[in-house]
Amino acid sequence: MRDSDVRRAVKASLGAEYAHDADTRMVEEMGVWSGSVRIDIAIINGALTGYELKSDRDTLERLPRQLALYGRVFDYLHLIVGKRHADHAERLLPKWWGIRIAVASGDEVELIPHRAPAPNPSPDPYLIAELLSKDEAVGVLEALGLDKGWRSKKIRLIHERLANEMPLDELREKVRTALKKRPRSLKVCPFEPA
């Protein structure tokens, strides 16, 4: 079972779930922490949900760092893991992460639910704000009437202001809206089944 087989199965599953939801967007290889780490698949709708894929051919070497960073940004997280790594991965994961086990079934990959995700108990408002480009972040400040004197500031300061000035739920909603408005060339697109 190759990585591409697992990805195809996850995209097909998500396609079946969200194909008729016009508010849902999918991003493959979405960057967080200024793009230094990329989650395999993100679903953006009324929540920001991440899917990290680890086939039997992968190692779990990077997983602890990925867990720490993704767990500060996403509302919900799922690990899709090959059977070979399932027990070890489950011991590493926080209890709120969901787990699906990818199992080869002939030429297909079956995704077996193992644990449902729960809401993220400790998101980081700054890292959520950091998902916005400078233009997007300034646009949010402008909509709130907080942009005077801030357009020329460094992006880090603008993200800090958003994180400090906005209630978390409002910040999350503004970030999701901005991500969904990005053109296809920025890897945010209307959901299309695999």
**Which architecture, in CATH terms, is 3-121+184-190?**
3-Layer(aba) Sandwich (3.40)
- On the CB side of 19, CA atoms within 13 Å amount to 8
Q: Which of 15, 36, 40, 38 is CA-nearest to residue 28?
A: 40
pLDDT of residue 189: 38
Helix axes 168-181, 134-143, angle to 10 degrees: 130
pLDDT at 194: 35
Residue pLDDT, tens place only, 152-184: 999 999 999 999 999 999 999 999 999 998 875
Mean per-residue pLDDT of the chain: 89
Taking only Cα atoms into account, the Rg of the chain, rounded to an integer number of angstroms, comes to 17
Angle at 158 (CA atoms; ends 125, 163), nearest 5 degrees: 20
| pTM exceeds 0.85, yes or no | yes
The stretch 50-65 carries a mean pLDDT of 87
Q: Take residue 101 and report the two structure tokens written for it.
A: 């086990």
DSSP type of residue 46: S
- Flag the least confident range among 1-5, 69-73, 164-168, 185-189: 185-189
What are the tokens at 8? 């195809």
Report d(CA 173, CA 78) in Å as an integer. Answer: 21
Greatest Cα-to-Cα distance within the chain, rounded to the nearest angstrom: 61
pLDDT tens by residue, 82-127: 998 888 888 999 999 999 999 998 889 999 999 999 999 999 999 9
Domain boundaries, the chain: 3-121+184-190, 125-181
